Structure 1
Amino acid sequence: MSPVNSYYPARAVVDLGAVRSNVRALREHASGGAEVMAVVKADAYGHGLVPCARAAVEGGATWLGAAQVAEALALRAAGIGGRVLTWLYAPGAPLAEAVAADVDVSVAAGWALDEVVVAARATGRTARVHVKVDTGLGRNGVMPDDLPELLARAVEAQASGAVEVVGVWSHLALADQPDHPTVVGQADVFAHAVRLVEEAGAHLEVRHLANSAATLTSPGVHHDLVRPGLAVYGLSPVPHLGAPADYGLVPAMTLEASLATVKRVPADHGVSYAHAYRTPTSTVLGVVPIGYSDGLPRHASGDLPERPGGPVQVGSGASARTLAVAGRVCMDQVMVDLGPDAREAAGDRVVLFGSGEDGGPTAEDWARAAGTISYEITTRLGARVPRAYVDGED
């Protein structure tokens, strides 16, 4: 790309060394010899599908999870081998391409099994199938009462060579509350489903239930395979129980920008739309050229001191300061009250969130400011924000 086309005043710096390190830490958390599936859906939670998938495999992940079929095919197109599972599709999905690319496919309903069988016969390959069971989340998955009928059809297709049922899986509703009775309840329903699948004659290789939260807090549900997503990227899925460092994790993404306009304004000067924030005294305002079209949540707007906005760190080293967004988050920019004695200038670095190791803001801080979860903060980061890759282990 030309310098003109590649320029952007903000960037997301992703540390692939942190991704590898996080996967190694998650392997340590996995009990009973369970393998690790690194979930790289949603562009690796906003971090970049292919670079992060490669780093996860280098860190010891033996499986990759991609919700969308297109994501799984993109991994194969990039030359990434190993086991890949995809699970979220509607009728008419390119399952033949997935089967031909040796992608494992989840089946959660009779129509899905039918389409996988058609895809397998069209390609002349045996499709590797994981049966998804709804154990209580109320989302994707076959209901337990309907499982025997689906299994009968799946085993019939297996006998014909069209499919091989290699996995059974489900997802927890309250894994972030490990003592909640639904965790045990769903684990019991899953155990019963596994027995049904095994008794039906499936050729099971893996049974998997644990997401990031359960990988870190509920070893009793690890089975053969754990499926961490958020934790792969160094964020805690249970911030009320522990920070990333408590689980040996390091946030992989730093979202940074450069100050644009820096100017002095008088006291009681309105800032941004609706003047939700007014300067308490003569002060210096800084404009950070990144906004809600880039993924910053508008709910993290600030009308200090009543409701601080999302945090930002200006400056570096000993002079670094963590301040808050002043006024409404705009489409392409946010404002920061730098204070009456500010020494920052246009071009100075601003960190919106990062590892937090130097006391700066984190994605979890932004999540709290916006009343959401850190998953949303990274996954909503817009495509126009360039991703730059570094390797902190190199």
Structure 2
Amino acid sequence: MRTIRIDLDVIAANYKTLKELTGGIVMAIVKADAFGHGMIEVSKKLESINVDILGTADLEEAMALREAGIKSPIMAWLYSKTTEFEEAIKNDIELGASTLVTLEKIGSASKKVGLVAKVHLKVDTGLGRNGAALADWPGVIQKAIELRDSGAIELVGVFSHLSGTSEKDDLEQLRVFEEAIETASKLGATFKIHHIAASLAALRYPSTRLDMTRIGAALYGLDPGLETNMRQYGLLPAMRVTSEVVHVKKVSSGHSLSYGYLHSTTGESTLALVPFGYNEGFPRISTGKAEVFLNGKKYKVLARVAMDQFILDLGTDTAEIGDEVVIIGDGTKGEPTVEELAKAAGTINDEIVTKMGGRAKRVFS
């Protein structure tokens, strides 16, 4: 009744396209279950085409990849107070670090297991998330040099993250990043890999690509800015979400529908029941704005989306039980896109795809 179809070949093709476009190392971001596309399956597909490196946020995600047999390089950068790094170092997971405490814990774990930890230092250039504050950066560098010289860590990379606010803002962050790298150099720290650009900057601002780009949204054919035609870059969406009609009936004019009676029929109408609700990731807040595709035509979901289902008012049109209903599909065929659903819900496409699931069956092809 509910299917989330993931085209792994499309993801692989997108990765190759991004490699050619950026001209450098491409980290494939597979955090958050690969943006809802299936972290293990996507990672195995990318490994089969010799992905440069995989990126997760949580260390637990990276460890899950190793447990699944993934041997490609992996980087993680988000930890808690209780995170321990011994197993990550044993499993050759590259680690982001931006505080003295984290560096000290990594150094201690490295000495404990007798292996050199691969570290990327992060500086905050304006986003305000993790990353060393500029005032703290020299101290972080000095600690990293101390650990490097003791043989505990290898300084593999230096990185930051852009806000995506505007070209001016992103390029200003790039300038701050370059100054931070210069500061590190003067103190005696050098890095093999410099990286700051995610999908948006990698596509729009070539000067931000540096040695490596971290590509998430664009890898899955998602527009990182909600205003870009991804097909102009040769990037295609990899997720298709469908359900089906499970009940059909005719009702008279003035028949009110679903919770809150937000919609009533204006004439004799055919109603079609579709078993896909907010439990599966169809946003309740998109009621009255989101559209789905049935029998070659778009219909607005006018009645309130419920946990398990929604109702379509087909007016004088008809439908049969079993007819496919496209929730996210191919915009070139007139089907609703994830960007359109995101707009209807007042959010971004990343949020829509990462929340798709519930009782829907994920199928890989």
Q: TM-score, normalised by structure 1?
A: 0.90
The match for 1:14 is: 6
The match for 1:359 is: 334
1:345 aligns with 2:320: yes
CA distance in 1, matches of 2:157, 2:345: 38
The match for 2:160 is: 170
Q: Note the C-alpha offset of 1:285.
A: 1.0
Runs of 4+ in 1 over 4 A off after TM superposition: none
Q: Note the C-alpha offset of 1:37.
A: 0.4
1:243 aligns with 2:233: no
Query: Is the 1:24–1:60 Cα contact (8 Å) retained in structure 2?
Result: no
Query: Is the 1:69–1:94 Cα contact (8 Å) retained in structure 2?
Result: no
- Give the counterpart of 1:263 among 236, 249, 255: 249
Query: Is the 2:254–2:265 Cα contact (8 Å) retained in structure 1?
Result: yes
CA distance in 2, matches of 1:56, 1:278: 49
Alignment coverage as a number of residue pairs: 365
CA distance in 2, matches of 1:383, 1:190: 41
- Give the counterpart of 2:58 among 18, 43, 68: 68
Q: Note the C-alpha offset of 1:59.
A: 4.6
1:117-156 equivalences in 2 (<5 Å): 117-156=107-146
Encode CA deviations 1:87-118: one digit per residue, 9 max, x unaligned.
11111113211111100010021111121112
1:115 aligns with 2:105: yes
The match for 1:98 is: 88
Q: Note the C-alpha offset of 1:238.
A: 2.3
The match for 1:201 is: 188
CA distance in 2, matches of 1:383, 1:162: 44
The match for 2:348 is: 373
Q: Note the C-alpha offset of 1:60.
A: 5.2
The amino acid across from 1:274 in the alignment is G
Encode CA deviations 1:197-243: one digit per residue, 9 max, x unaligned.
33333352211000000111010011100011011001111232x22
Q: Secondary structure at the match of 2:279?
A: helix
1:330 aligns with 2:319: no
CA distance in 2, matches of 1:201, 1:230: 35
Q: Secondary structure at the match of 2:333?
A: coil
Encode CA deviations 1:244-281: one digit per residue, 9 max, x unaligned.
21221110000111211111111111111110111111
CA distance in 2, matches of 1:61, 1:225: 13
Residues 201 and 386 (structure 1), Cα distance of their counterparts in 2 relative to 1, 3 Å cut: farther
The amino acid across from 1:295 in the alignment is G
The match for 1:88 is: 78
CA distance in 2, matches of 1:61, 1:268: 57
Q: Which moved more, 1:351-360 or 1:136-145?
A: 351-360
Q: Secondary structure at the match of 1:369?
A: helix
Residues 338 and 60 (structure 1), Cα distance of their counterparts in 2 relative to 1, 3 Å cut: farther
The match for 1:42 is: 32
CA distance in 1, matches of 2:62, 2:351: 22
Residues 196 and 83 (structure 1), Cα distance of their counterparts in 2 relative to 1, 3 Å cut: farther
Q: Secondary structure at the match of 1:143?
A: coil
The match for 1:292 is: 278
- Give the counterpart of 1:26 among 9, 13, 18: 18
The match for 1:190 is: 177
- Give the counterpart of 1:224 among 211, 214, 219: 211
Q: Secondary structure at the match of 1:368?
A: helix
Query: Is the 1:23–1:59 Cα contact (8 Å) retained in structure 2?
Result: no
Identity %: 38
Encode CA deviations 1:27-46: one digit per residue, 9 max, x unaligned.
1220xx42100100000000
CA distance in 1, matches of 2:149, 2:329: 52
Q: Note the C-alpha offset of 1:64.
A: 0.7
CA distance in 2, matches of 1:291, 1:67: 28
Encode CA deviations 1:146-200: one digit per residue, 9 max, x unaligned.
011011111111111111111100000126x3x3x21121001100111223333
Query: Is the 1:209–1:222 Cα contact (8 Å) retained in structure 2?
Result: yes
Query: Is the 2:257–2:263 Cα contact (8 Å) retained in structure 1?
Result: yes
Encode CA deviations 1:293-323: one digit per residue, 9 max, x unaligned.
1111111111xxxxxx3111113xxxx1111
CA distance in 1, matches of 2:280, 2:187: 49
Query: Is the 2:96–2:120 Cα contact (8 Å) retained in structure 1?
Result: yes
1:387 aligns with 2:359: no
CA distance in 2, matches of 1:142, 1:312: 45
1:269-288 equivalences in 2 (<5 Å): 269-288=255-274
Residues 182 and 155 (structure 1), Cα distance of their counterparts in 2 relative to 1, 3 Å cut: same
The match for 2:240 is: 254
Q: Give structure 1 stretches of 5+ with no counterpart.
A: 1-8, 303-308
Q: Give structure 2 stretches of 5+ with no counterpart.
A: none
Q: TM-score, normalised by structure 2?
A: 0.96
The amino acid across from 1:14 in the alignment is I
Q: Secondary structure at the match of 2:321?
A: coil
Query: Is the 1:23–1:60 Cα contact (8 Å) retained in structure 2?
Result: no
Q: Secondary structure at the match of 1:292?
A: coil
The match for 1:5 is: none
1:311 aligns with 2:291: yes
CA distance in 2, matches of 1:118, 1:265: 71
